Chain A
């Protein structure tokens, strides 16, 4: 059986930038085949040369990505996607404005062919606190924030510094335990959104390094390549020992004492997935570790991984 496909959920109210974020992914040039499930195609933008087919229920992009209608039966839609000859390498589901995104992530937790990836919740820096004070919406806002593994505070260019700080503090008071990043135009580094290691991309094309000029302020990433063959049990212990400032780990590593020479490794939030790598021998092995700027530095990471091994 193939490694489980990561399923990520993009939640947040109307107008918070979900579609902008998904548009960036659908039009990416990394070679990773994403499937994006949306309620409404209306605002999906296709770069002229990227569209391959549009049949009303789905848009197929020349880069291998596909955008499908969510429909009434998510399970049936997911089953169809996974049954394809070339199933997507990652699935992203756009939760409707008022949905609790956790209920969608539950589908991944219940299906052995899926891996529960991040629940990403977007909030609009301009309107978040108004919504949180609105009787009609406050508890829905709270539920969404409670469900998040990563909060994207978007439209920060449209508020002044005081407002931005106050909104961040308000969010931190709700969720001090997860990364909260500030963006404009929902520009989130590609590596944060993608659960697929670049070396596993079906088309061997590496993403340019990288998007968004304030990338360095939002996240740090460390690449640990030249990994020697690891003991999987010890690797799992190392991953479990990582602090919550680490958002994502992904990569393909050589392993000891197993029939399969390589394993795919993914950590998303607190979920860990380690599965045999079924593809052709990877162009390179190693782990990409992504976290907030206060994540452990290279030396500390080396210690965590070495101490456990």
Chain B
């Protein structure tokens, strides 16, 4: 990805950094060397950079996966997708049979009923799994859970419970579907679990790192994290180890406390950064998700007539928060899914930059799935970066076409081609574990723009393979202000590589996602996927 030297036969590494790339003869000038030929028949790429993932990718796998699309766990086991509610239940029955502690809750994640037209999951379904231990199934949206009768009993949720998000049947009995933050938190408490605490545990970070390694990723964000002390301690301890394969860039949740407290917290964390851990990034969330119908849309709104989504931050407060962090010298990434959220965020950044000009602030819009050409033009002029959610095109493209956006706007979603043409600095991402962590798959999505059923969305928004590979390396590094350190193979950068079995520039672009990944090199340390040891 060094534009002056896109292809080389050899790379020289010293002290965890790249001495240079070129011919053996050129590199011999650096002095004596040890020639390592184990990658002679492999393709060495810059270590891939995932600009939007979550350490939740690691903790999620403590629970049973029941998503619609097939998924590979960090331990390499491939889990088939669940194509129906019955398949979800069957999988949970098998898992339940293997549990030894009779009181332990059975937790599942990734359930995505948008693919199942019609029937909702109910108590009878999950009571088939168990009537004696709590069973909790979290939906892919993260906002809804289903429980069995025992979970509701432990949570003291009955027909008399009168809250909006408690779904009831025609007889007034709870169906087991629990919507909204209060019911969700009660459900977790009833199951005896703490989702946020789990994410910071060491085992979860190891699994996150292994999941990244399998995908050729050497740097990933954790976007975002409250960064409680226990999490910071496990992050600093693990990333200091030579055998930990991943660089982590955690972003601090910049809206759960006052901006002053947030600034103080992040500034106290920055000195605790190390070679594989970089504090300093702030994340704000403007709205919800499109497939959850919680994204904020401009007129005429959702194609199926669903009411407009939710602001997660007051549009009048957004510029104040942005200004506070920006003026404290901290970089901010902002989640904006719907076009109204994107527009309000661009307006806010414009206002912030007018008061405190900075041509290189690299505010980055995360997801930004519905941005219009006019938004990209303004982003280019204001120096705003974008990280587009290309995986959505495959995962939910058909649902966007049919339900959320309708045909015309579905074609302009995740408009990578427009970002490229208009000169916006861009990356593409997975939002793992929302979709699977695999930048080559993400690149495949941006290059082909094919949905799960094979429909092409927005042919004119396709980019070529070279540009897609740039987006998952230097492009993502740029959004993190790490492009001087990582993202390309050239003198002085960190010795981070993805080791592939095939050349992404010569395979059929429709096969980009299928290129086997041998492993990674992080800071000169070699990490073969075959040696991953994890439960």
A interface residues (Cβ-Cβ under 8 A, vs B) = 13-15, 39-42, 56, 69-75, 96-98, 100, 102-104, 106-107, 109-112, 135-137, 139-140
A82 to chain B, nearest CB (A): 13
- A98-B182 Cα distance, complex, nearest whole Å: 17
**Per a CB cutoff under 8 Å, which of B189, B256, B344 touches A136?**
B344
Which residues of chain B from 174 to 221 have a CB within 8 Å of any chain A CB? Answer: 180-183, 185-186, 189, 196
Q: List 25 A-B contacts (CB under 8 A).
A: A13-B316, A14-B317, A40-B258, A42-B258, A42-B260, A56-B261, A72-B256, A73-B196, A74-B182, A75-B185, A97-B314, A97-B316, A98-B311, A98-B313, A102-B164, A103-B165, A103-B180, A104-B182, A106-B164, A107-B182, A110-B183, A112-B156, A135-B340, A136-B315, A139-B307
Q: Are A109 and B163 in contact (CB under 8 A)?
A: yes
Q: Considering the complex of A and B, which 6 residue pairs feature the smallest CB-CB distances, nearest first? A: A97-B314, A106-B182, A40-B258, A98-B311, A75-B185, A106-B163
**Per-residue CB proximity of B149-174 to A under 8 Å, as 1/0?**
00000011100011111000000000
Q: Could you say which of A71, A106, A107, A112 has the most chain B C-beta atoms within 10 Å of its C-beta? A: A106
Q: In the assembled complex, which residues on chain A have CB atoms less than 8 Å from the CB atom of B96? A: none
**Per a CB cutoff under 8 Å, which of A14, A74, A100 touches B185?**
A74
B350 to chain A, nearest CB (A): 15
Q: In the assembled complex, which residues on chain A have CB atoms less than 8 Å from the CB atom of B257? A: 39-40, 69, 71
Q: In the assembled complex, which residues on chain B have CB atoms less than 8 Å from the CB atom of A110? A: 155-157, 161, 163, 182-183, 186
A56, closest chain B residue (CB): B261
| In the complex with contacts A42-B258, A135-B299, A135-B340, A72-B253 CB distance below 8 A | yes
Q: Are A14 and B314 in contact (CB under 8 A)?
A: yes
Q: Are B180 and A106 in contact (CB under 8 A)?
A: yes
Q: Does B298 contact A (CB under 8 A)?
A: yes
- A42-B263 Cα distance, complex, nearest whole Å: 14
Q: Does B310 contact A (CB under 8 A)?
A: yes
| In the complex with contacts A106-B164, A109-B162, A110-B157, A75-B316 CB distance below 8 A | no
Q: In the assembled complex, which residues on chain B have CB atoms less than 8 Å from the CB atom of A136? A: 296, 315, 340, 344
B340, closest chain A residue (CB): A136
**Per a CB cutoff under 8 Å, which of B189, B226, B317 touches A97?**
B317
Q: Could you say which of A42, A56, A70, A136 has the most chain B C-beta atoms within 10 Å of its C-beta? A: A136
- A111-B161 Cα distance, complex, nearest whole Å: 10
A43, closest chain B residue (CB): B258
**Per a CB cutoff under 8 Å, which of B165, B189, B312 touches A106?**
B165
Known pairs A104-B182, A110-B156, A110-B183 / 12 extra A-B pairs, C-beta < 8 Å: A13-B316, A14-B314, A56-B261, A70-B256, A73-B185, A75-B182, A75-B189, A96-B314, A98-B310, A106-B181, A110-B163, A140-B310
B168 to chain A, nearest CB (A): 14
- A74-B161 Cα distance, complex, nearest whole Å: 19
Q: In the assembled complex, which residues on chain A have CB atoms less than 8 Å from the CB atom of B316? A: 13-15, 97
- A277-B164 Cα distance, complex, nearest whole Å: 30
B interface residues (Cβ-Cβ under 8 A, vs A) = 155-157, 161-165, 180-183, 185-186, 189, 196, 226, 253, 256-258, 260-261, 296, 298-299, 307-308, 310-317, 340, 344
Q: In the assembled complex, which residues on chain B have CB atoms less than 8 Å from the CB atom of A104? A: 182
A119 to chain B, nearest CB (A): 12
Q: Are A103 and B181 in contact (CB under 8 A)?
A: yes
Q: In the assembled complex, which residues on chain B have CB atoms less than 8 Å from the CB atom of A75? A: 182, 185-186, 189
- A69-B256 Cα distance, complex, nearest whole Å: 9
B189, closest chain A residue (CB): A75
- A69-B255 Cα distance, complex, nearest whole Å: 12
- A135-B257 Cα distance, complex, nearest whole Å: 28
Q: In the assembled complex, which residues on chain B have CB atoms less than 8 Å from the CB atom of A14? A: 314, 316-317
Q: In the assembled complex, which residues on chain B have CB atoms less than 8 Å from the CB atom of A100? A: 310
- A136-B253 Cα distance, complex, nearest whole Å: 23
- A102-B311 Cα distance, complex, nearest whole Å: 15
A142, closest chain B residue (CB): B307
B322 to chain A, nearest CB (A): 15
A136, closest chain B residue (CB): B315
- A69-B196 Cα distance, complex, nearest whole Å: 17
Q: Are B161 and A109 in contact (CB under 8 A)?
A: yes
- A214-B73 Cα distance, complex, nearest whole Å: 65
Q: In the assembled complex, which residues on chain B have CB atoms less than 8 Å from the CB atom of A137? A: 315
- A234-B315 Cα distance, complex, nearest whole Å: 49
Q: Are B161 and A140 in contact (CB under 8 A)?
A: no
**Per a CB cutoff under 8 Å, which of B181, B183, B308, B314 touches A74?**
B181
Q: Are A72 and B182 in contact (CB under 8 A)?
A: no
B178, closest chain A residue (CB): A110
B181, closest chain A residue (CB): A103
A232 to chain B, nearest CB (A): 19
- A137-B156 Cα distance, complex, nearest whole Å: 36
Q: In the assembled complex, which residues on chain B have CB atoms less than 8 Å from the CB atom of A135? A: 298-299, 340
Q: In the assembled complex, which residues on chain B have CB atoms less than 8 Å from the CB atom of A112? A: 156
Q: Could you say which of B155, B310, B316 has the most chain A C-beta atoms within 10 Å of its C-beta? A: B316
Q: In the assembled complex, which residues on chain A have CB atoms less than 8 Å from the CB atom of B310? A: 98, 100, 140
Q: In the assembled complex, which residues on chain A have CB atoms less than 8 Å from the CB atom of B165? A: 103, 106
Q: In the assembled complex, which residues on chain B have CB atoms less than 8 Å from the CB atom of A56? A: 261
B96 to chain A, nearest CB (A): 27
**Per a CB cutoff under 8 Å, which of B183, B256, B258, B340 touches A71?**
B256
B308 to chain A, nearest CB (A): 5
A268 to chain B, nearest CB (A): 14
A70, closest chain B residue (CB): B256
